[in-house]
Structure 1
Amino acid sequence: MAIYHMQAKVVSRGSGRSAVAASAYMSCSRMYNDYDGIQHDYTRKQGLIYQEVMLPPMAPSKWNDREQLWNAVEENEKTKDSRLAREFVVALPVELDKDSNISLLQDFIKKNFVNMGMCADFAIHDTDGHNPHAHILLTVRPLNENGTWQYKTEKEYLCIKDGQEKSFTASEFKTAQKQGWEKQYHYKVGKKKEYLTSSVAQEKGYERIDKHPKSSRYGRQNPISEQWNSDEQLCIWRANWADAVNKMLARNQINATIDHRSFADQGITEQPTIHEGYIAQNMEKKGMIADRCEINRQIRADNKMLRELKANVAKLAEAVEKSVPIIAETLEAIRSHMIFTQYHLLHNEMQKEVIHDWMNHFNPILNIYNTVKKKLKAKVTERKELNVKKEKTSILNPIQHIKLNQQLTTVTEEIEELKSRKEQLIFQAECSTDKDMTNLSKKYDQMNN
């Protein structure tokens, strides 16, 4: 059944990743990285359903070739810890066919990313036919109208005037200097170092010891980048994804919806239904009764009853204020019924957890989760061993260095893929953390015993 899953990541050199490698991995293609001279070949990788590059109007048309796009990104980022791309991993509704999911993604990416000025590279994967999901790779640096890159952050000089400190960019300082603002530099004052303006230092005869003026630690962020990086924008994208999926489901006359909020945030006190799965749904279509579908029907009926009782309580509570004794008695009777209904819901929850169906539902999830966890641990160990091997390899052996770098980038992308899969399984198991999954596994073992 349709579930909500949207995971946000950042592809950065600091974490050992490259934008070229990430794009080649998700698109199952062969790409050469001009920055480090590594050839990434993932043409044998399985599970690719669809891939596409979408560009804003100001982007050069040659960037429709993803290799040129991400090499342009790599070329423009100079530092060893540069943030190269933003990545989203989203779960696609299993109820929709391939064309509907492609249309859903294209529309969402165009409205939420491309129209904001980002270049988008996306691919749909489904390795087992039951887990369709998409990887969306986005540029993080805004573009000018002529297709050149804008700055991410701009240096801010901390200047002084009449004892007040204020920050200015290089272009702003030209005007500020005419108004009396001065840059501050490091001067030697006795045995100490202090930031002073040139005019003050010259009066006292201090010696400047650094040519760089005082500036803010991180500089001033590009306002467009600041918006893209904000928590508020991420919340908007998460909500927009839920809306886009729900509209597509409704357009295809599918009776299902998703919500990006947790049950607590939604203010829902009703009992959630359990995951039915395609096997149970196929049984129902053939006229057979599936246990988990039957449980969900009971849960929905009880939730409906609880909603009706709550509505009656609200109406009668208003009337009680007028001190009508008979209504007060009716209210008390309904309150008693509500307590019984809530107890019945609690009983259903307990029953859901102890019957064989509960175990059948969580057994495959836990098995896949444990397998993914073991693979992830092995890949992390493999990456550590490769790094050790790389450190021990002489710089006089460049061929071996290139080979090890290729292996490292491949392992790093495999680790990111496994992390995404693990998080999706945690969500599917209605958990939040690895600790929750450990507790669920213990609970399963107790019930199995």
Structure 2
Amino acid sequence: MAIYHFSVKTVARSAGRSATASIAYRAGEKIYCEREGKEHDYSRKTGVEYKEIYLPEGAPKHLKNRERLWNEVEQRETRKNSTVAREFEIAFPSELNQEQRLAMLEELCSSIVERHQVAVDACVHAPHTGSGSDERNYHAHILMSTRKLTPEGFTEKTRELDQKYSGEIEHWREHFADICNMHLDMAGFTERIDHRSYKDQEIGLEATLHEGPKVTELRRQGIETEISRTNDEIKQRNQIQLHYSKNMDMLIAENEIKLSTLKTEQQIQIKHSAKTPPIDEKALFEQKQRETLFQLLKGEISAKEANLGLDFMQDVFKKAENTLSKLQKHTNEFNQHLAQEIVKNGLKQSHDKLQSLVDQHNELGQNKPLLFGKKAWEAQRDALYQEHKKLKGRHEHQKKNGVKELLENDKFKEHAWKQYQKQHPAKAEQFQSLYGSYRIIKKCVDEIKLEQQMKLRQEQQLKAQQHAPKMKFRGMSR
């Protein structure tokens, strides 16, 4: 059964740790730390199945070297208590093979680089079955810089990942679950994982206690601790609960098969005998509505011909709306990031142009003519000043409103959607398909409501006419 694991950790000097030592252990390599003036040698470490460095587009190529990358990360931080790196630790679904695991890792790491513009170094570890580890425990350590990486080097900190209420960590937890489920589906498995805690899922399972490296090492040596014993008891109770739930699911499935058989028999009996009472009219009615809805979505019948119930359609509409909202949120985030990148590149170009104009203006100021050509010199200097002023105005406007204007631009929307389709083809296809169904369902709900309102109005008018006092007409007196 696929198990969800996604933890977030930091590598901080305040805890006596360094990025060079951390990556040396995770990659199973020998790394020399220039800041500490010592070598971290983990080249004898076994079980490192795969390792890869992912960098933003345009990043210095020499940072593909692991030792140079993490030494530059260390040198960029000057405070003695700096957080020098951040780590996502993930577990792969045990159902996936090596090729499928690496495809998952590629998608996750590329998403991290794209969203935060940081350097990422990922190492996949195979389970140490000889020392007692679970043979399914394939996991990855994804170490990333805390600063953004540009063609000029490391720049500002990625503060959004430090802020508790920014929602970034929850975003990555959910995004990783989506990636896992997508790859499980692509591999033909029906198992699914959930990023929510057992408490939020309300499935009766208990969360285990964090063991840490010391307890894990003692466990491998066959030495029990209070934490390991407690966790073993929790796991045992969870297994019993899962077994019970599985049996319940099987029982429900069996009952559904029996119910389906009974419904079929009932329909045959109804067809041959009008006296046979229905077994489950409500279930049959709901099944009929689902079949009719399917015909409506395929365009085989109109909303009027479908004649579906309002409660049923509103429930379907709500579910479609919720799913569409999640997909829309993902596309909006993609568009926002793409717009920010375009504006960022444009601002860099205008900044370079402004600096060039300033340099030209300063150079011109140093070559002021004493007599001849003074008017031409002043005109050239004024032209440079006016060009700088105009460009600076555009630069400041773009800095303030560029992203917003892009997001409202129809041509940008078309461009962003094409890019989204290239990078997220599965989600784009799902969005298009669902959006088409959503529009049909919404139109149907609106028509049913309108029809009911008209019917109610007619009933009220008829009722008012029936209760209106009758007028008595008298003849003319003579």
Instruction: Give TM-score scaled by structure 2 length.
Output: 0.42
Could you say which structure has the greater relative contact order, defined with CA pairs below 8 angstroms and 6 or more residues apart?
A: 1
The structure with the largest alpha-carbon Rg is: 2
Structure (1/2) with the larger strand percentage: 1
Give the structure with the higher percent helix.
2
